[in-house]
Amino acid sequence: MKILKNILKIFGILGILFFFWAAFVYFSFDKTEFLKTFQSRYSKVLYDRNGELLSVFLNQEDQWHIQAREIPQRLKIAVINYEDRNFYSHKGVDFLALLRALKNNIFLNQRTGASTISMQTIKLWDKKNRTYLNKLNEMIQSFALENHFTKEEILRLYLSNAPYGRNLVGFESAILFYFDKNPKNLTWAQAALLAVLPNQPGLIHLEKNKNLLLKKRDLLLKKLYDKKIIEKDIFELSLKEPLPHFKTHKNIAPHLALKLLSEDKKQVVSSIDKKLQIKFENKALEFAQGLKQKGIQNLAIILADTQTYKILAYVGSQDFYDLENLGQINGARAKRSEGSTLKPFLFALSIDEGLISPKSILLDVPTFFSNFNPQNANKKYYGLISAEEALQKSLNVPFVSLLQNYGYEKFFYKLKYFLDFKDEDYQKYGLSLILGTKELSLEDLTQLYLGLANYGQIADLSFLRDEPLKGLKTMFSKGSAYLTLQSMKNVQRFGLQNYDKTKIVSWKTGTSYGRKDALALGATPRYTLGVWVGNFNAQANANLYGVSIAGDLFFELLSLLDRLDLEFQMPQDLFNIKLDLMSKYRYDERLGGAYTYTLYPKEAKILRTSPFLKRIYEFQGKEVDSKDENFKDAKIQIKLDLPLNALDFLHQENLNFKSEKNIKILYPKQNLNILLARDFDKQKALVVKIANLKNEKVFWYLNQKLIYEGEATSRILDLKPKIYSLFIISESGESDEVRFEVKQ
């Protein structure tokens, strides 16, 4: 009796110890740490807007380990029937199954398991060896697991972390590499296969013991059929379905995946449309083959939904896997020269500033802006040209002049406000800012063009499906945006005569100085598209043109899109204003004369009157003033009053305009500081240009010394560093003078 009491006492003590040990194991379960452990193992995965997988990357253990989002119903049924038929009724441990397994192991010498899905989830988390003590631990922790999670959450955790052979973990990894399909489209045979695979992944997988694997799958299908879960014809068809083979997966939108994914954001649902992304990637690869024959290696593409600002396709290079040509560089984020692609924004801002209407005349003649002498890409000048035509032809001189009037500092900080770049040195760019000297990325430019397409409302690019719109700001009025878009509809499509004219797009190209970058960007009410073509190593190429290279790719991509027959709708803030008929600026009632009408934004500043018109009094074809005896009989006339450099150009083009002045020094400008390259004799050569409308003999004096007399309009002067005074005078007595300094 005493022995029995001692035994009972020992068992009592052991029971108490077991109770406290079990309580410790149970209450030491930390839900947060539990999830964090699993989270640290998952692969980084990018999904498209519809939940379709785009890119997946190996985890730190070189495994494809995808966290499940939603379990297909067929897989759920197959797994529960195979692994744990009482899953929804037990509290973590199935004691009847445990007793049955114990009986089979002892009396029938059959090793059968009794682990529930909850217990297996704990084992996958803890990764401890199979011992009785660890088994007991799993059972206790399973109760804790059931207390902290719902059944659906536990099932998802199990299927997210179950092994499926090779280096595949989680059923979504298995579906991707075995079936390459959407999990929602899983067949019963595939679901049954995925249910039995984790049971013995080291022994049974697709490369080993295939017959045993097939037998286990078919037995599960038979069980599902016997339970009347699947119909007879489905059962028979499922038995005939062969086992799959391992399939390699090529990531889609890999550049964007690397941009968006991180250790903190391992699963990202992007705004990408998988079907469009695949089309654009294929087109990029195809187009790149032709580019390589011209010595051009790289390109980048961004397609956005105009209305939502969401990115639908993002191609960072011609091919991410083209390692030889730096394909893993993300060209959509790289800062490159934007060429002439900022001109539409200066155009719209200048309308709002009251500087121009789209019809207003601008000068396109050889012009010196201090020491800056811009030229058009085709080396031609058009004389007098409307602002909208200057935009369509992408002329440099008119837009440099327009930037000078608008203010390059103001334009610089306008861009900085909307693009949030760090650069502060606007003086570094000066008037060349409008020609592409400030480097921006294709992302930056796409953001700007999206804003233009949204009537001046610029916002941050959105790469995530469920992300709200951020950073919404107004850059210019709806009216000026609309007028700009309308002008851009008529940009010439060189070499694109066969392009479908029903596809309406407002677009613009850009070519960087030195032919290193070619761009094409444009917008429709539905899509906004940006294209960059060039070399990541910044190598120049004579074939690089925005209109003929980037433009070709731009329109080939547009051909892949639908609903491009839509027009931008005219906003309500436009009204008709009077323009003078000659130069198309605001009609000046004091000058009088003929006029016409045009649309102009109500929100814009009042359009200025013409800088090129003046009123004169004319008698018998001769201009007279109040001192002339015929003044009382003279008629009022409105005439163009152009600057002398414009008159000089028109004179050379045999388009004569009368002028009160015929002699002017065009370059250098007054008080200009000049840095010139030294020649071999350490002299500094300066090309001086003058206007001489009447082709008179002109006398040139440099520092009061006669250096030339004749009709020439340019001279090369070899000058040492010092201050100079240049004075010219014609035979008729007209003169001009400038002071300038040549510096070391």
HEC assignment per residue over 92-111 = CCCHHHHHHHHHHHHHCCCC
- Regions of the chain where pLDDT drops below 50: 497, 680
Radius of gyration, CA atoms only, the chain: 39
Q: Please give the domain boundaries of the chain with CATH numbers for all domains.
A: 30-41+58-240 (1.10.3810.10), 251-335+439-569 (3.40.710.10), 661-743 (2.60.40.10)
The two tokens of residue 69 are: 């989002």
Amino acid at site 578 = K
CA–CA gap between residue 450 and residue 462 (Å, rounded)? 11
Confidence at residue 677, expressed as pLDDT on a 0 to 100 scale: 62
Confidence at residue 629, expressed as pLDDT on a 0 to 100 scale: 76
CA–CA gap between residue 507 and residue 527 (Å, rounded)? 12
The two tokens of residue 452 are: 């233009």
Q: Would you call 317 exposed, middle or buried from its count of C-beta atoms within 10 A (0-12, 13-18, 19+)?
A: buried
The two tokens of residue 12 are: 């009592």
Residue 55, H or E segment: strand 53-56
Q: What is the per-residue pLDDT across 279-325, written as a single tens digit (0 to 9) for each? A: 999 999 999 999 999 999 999 999 999 999 999 999 999 999 999 99
CA–CA gap between residue 317 and residue 530 (Å, rounded)? 13
Q: What is the 3-state secondary structure (H, E, C) of 631-679?
A: HHHCEEEEEECCCHHHHHHHHHCCCCCCCCCCEEEEECCCCEEEECCEC
Residue 200: which region, alpha, beta or left (left: phi > 0; alpha: psi -120 to 50)? beta
CA–CA gap between residue 723 and residue 721 (Å, rounded)? 7
742 contacts 686 by C-beta, under 8 angstroms: yes
**CA 85, 91, 95, 101 torsion: positive or negative?**
positive
Confidence at residue 341, expressed as pLDDT on a 0 to 100 scale: 96
Confidence at residue 16, expressed as pLDDT on a 0 to 100 scale: 72
- Least Cα distance to 77 among 138, 170, 139, 159 occurs for 159
523 contacts 491 by C-beta, under 8 angstroms: no
Q: What is the per-residue pLDDT across 394-431, written as a single tens digit (0 to 9) for each? A: 999 999 999 999 999 999 999 999 999 998 889 899 99
The two tokens of residue 691 are: 């206007």
Bridge partner residues of 665 (DSSP): 690
Bridge partner residues of 311 (DSSP): 304
